[in-house]
Amino acid sequence: MGRTQLIAALVLIVAAAGLIAGRVALNDDDAATEAALAGGAETPGAEADAEAEETTTTTTEPIPEPERLGPAEEFAGLDGWLQTDADSLADFDGQVRIVQFWTFACHNCTATIPHLQGIYERHQADGLEIIGVHTPEFDFERDPDAVAAAAVDLGVTWPIALDPNKVSFRQWQPGRRFWPRTFVVDQEGEVRYNHIGEGRYDELEETVAYLIENGPGSTGA
């Protein structure tokens, strides 16, 4: 075997190992997607376990005031809502809002749900609302019944705004668009947190807790 062929074989082996590992890691998500595609709903299980493992924030240091990132855009191009009677972002004025752009076939989006559920349970009574803006990447994710089934399957209990044509998705993320993307909007409609992808749940919860405890604060200059 020549040198080139040896290198090629090594690349192939490493790539195959990575692919197998990735496939195993994502198997659970495929099952959820298939269930949603079939329109079925299953009892949440793994999500509840993950939620139980989540740790609560026990920071004793004073939390700094979250940065002001500009006024939140009102949603546009929506095709209705699920799990609420509201029909706009403004309907939740006066509450701290987590706005997350997600889609049920996105593994990274569904991985955030147990964490959001934990934050929701701890702060909903104090004035937190979560709005999941369901922005489908593909045609099969546009069916509201599939979204509703996925919500039950994944344990999404908060209001869902349907953004089938990515209008709000593009409006809130000009130029750089990602799944998931999570924002916190304060009681007066200003964005106070903006995060791409999974992770940083402690910081998300600290932002929510600060705004609930201290209010949006003065807009200053």
Beta bridge partner(s), residue 190: 71
Query: Is residue 113 within a helix (H) or strand (E), and if so which, with residue range?
Result: helix 113-123
Question: Are the CB atoms for 70 and 172 separated by under 8 Å?
Answer: no
Question: Are the CB atoms for 99 and 72 separated by under 8 Å?
Answer: yes
Task: Return the number of other C-beta atoms located less than 10 Å from residue 56's C-beta.
Answer: 10
Query: Tell me, what DSSP letter sits at residue 189?
Result: S
Query: What are the residues binding another protein (CB under 8 A)?
Result: 4-5, 8-9, 11-12, 14-16, 18-19, 21-23, 25-26, 30, 33-34, 37, 105-109, 111, 137-141, 175-180, 195-200
Residues 6+ apart with CB under 8 A from 43: none
**What CA–CA distance (Å, rounded) separates 153 from 176?**
29
Query: Tell me, what DSSP letter sits at residue 71?
Result: B
